[in-house]
Structure 1
């Protein structure tokens, strides 16, 4: 006979709680404040994920892992209906075209093809599209990833921080020529007030509650592009009838 007290299971009707203190009051008290990205306040910029550039990425042990991160990030934006802007740089030359997977996922989106300006935020055509998107949606948080992290991601991040945007560089959906570039870029963006994030942690932050309707569409990026987690899920369902903890959702039969 166990002496453990009964478990306390939260009701499946529970919803996400807001912080007790408002962002403005937290900042007034001298704290940084938690101004988190959500599917409702964010846009996503995917900058220069081009096949000619990606082949030069050297800060990942495997380009397969890097590619999976980029694809997962794109799939999450699609699942959560986050508006996306895609840009390429000198695609007509050595940098090559945008990843085919991104073109497939966002087949209804144009690619803003810059013809020389390195910082996408400094490109008049891209800036116009960016301003139009944020103006029409009222969104203020920018999720960004690009190749390489030191230029395609860091430079627009610094520019957008200068102009007052909350920016979240997704560092493992970027790539670098070497570790020095990645470390310097992350340090520089952090110093400017951006908040570096990783793909799957960001996915959890955006989803916030697996009970939300987007949960079904958000699961595939986790299971297909993060195989370690996918195998955990598959193993669970293979043995679901032998669970030790009752399922409050009633999905395990």
Structure 2
């Protein structure tokens, strides 16, 4: 059904910024292991729904380390663009890769919310992109600074979402068999009690 205000796999691209352990060490806005699990879930969503993905890292040789291995293992075929600027939008290779997708809707995930997430989001909005920040895959130095950064982005026009909402919005109908198994596996592996419930329903409830 056309015209719905919902994202479609054919419309969006994903930007992953600085999902690196050296930066994750500084996250104080929430549980780091849960944050990593959420980021991996989003990577699996991108792979499942064939969403063009651009990955950007910084200072990987001197401080931040490489893209975290659990994310890299899901997106092993995606090139990683190393940059110097805190603003990934000011890095030619990263911005060109996004532009080459031809998509004008952008999902953004990364560390740290206060800078390397905020700066490309604000710049992309300025350049006319429709930006969705996957807030539970982003981490900040403190809960307050993370929240303030997200509030600033929302005030500037970015839309806040979560990895689970992205997944359910893209799947939307559990009879879509081409992505059903993978989508269900992502929920079971990363969605806590909801995933436990789906696994229970599959294993214990048998239709009469």
For Structure 1 versus Structure 2, the TM-score category normalised by the shorter chain is over 0.9
In the alignment, the residues of structure 1 paired with residue 204 and residue 187 of structure 2 have an alpha-carbon distance, to the nearest angstrom, of 20
Which among 70, 79, 101 is matched to residue 70 of structure 2? 101
**What's the counterpart of residue 87 of structure 2?**
119
Cα offsets for 1:187-236 (capped at 9, x unmatched): 11111111010110121112111111212211111100123122112222
Mapped partners of 1:234, 1:220: distance in 2: 9
**1:48 Cα deviation after fit:** 0.2
- Corresponding residue for 1:234? 199
CA shift in 2, pair 1:130/1:210, >3 Å: same
SS in 2 for 1:214: helix
Change in CA separation of 1:35 and 1:165 when aligned onto 2, cut-off 3 Å: farther
| 3-state SS, counterpart of residue 169 of structure 1 | strand
Q: Give the corresponding residue for 1:89.
A: 58
Q: Which protein is richer in helix relative to its size?
A: 2
CA distance, structure 2, for counterparts of residue 151 and residue 35 of structure 1: 29
* Runs of 4 or more above 4 Å deviation: none
Greater strand share, structure number: 2
Q: How does 1:167-186 map to 2 (within 5 A)?
A: 167-186=131-150
Any conservation in 1 of the 2:55–2:94 contact (CA below 8 Å)?
no
Check if 1:215 corresponds to 2:180.
Answer: yes
| Deviation at residue 35 of structure 1 after TM alignment | 3.8
Q: How does 1:128-139 map to 2 (within 5 A)?
A: 128-134=96-102, 139=103
CA distance in 1 between counterparts of 2:199 and 2:71 reads 26
Alignment of 1:1-253 (within 5 A): 17-18=1-2, 35-60=5-30, 62-114=31-83, 116-134=84-102, 139-212=103-176, 213-241=178-206, 252=207
Q: What are structure 2's unaligned runs of at least 5 residues?
A: none
For 1:47 and 1:152, how far apart are their aligned partners in 2?
7
CA contact (8 A) 1:68 1:226 kept: no
> So what's the TM-score if we normalise by structure 1?
0.78
Separation in 2, partners of 1:236, 1:164: 43
Select the structure of larger CA radius of gyration.
1
5+ unaligned residues in a row in structure 1: which ranges? Answer: 1-16, 23-33, 242-251
TM-score (norm 2): 0.94
Q: How many angstroms apart in 2 are the aligned matches of 1:123 and 1:148?
A: 17
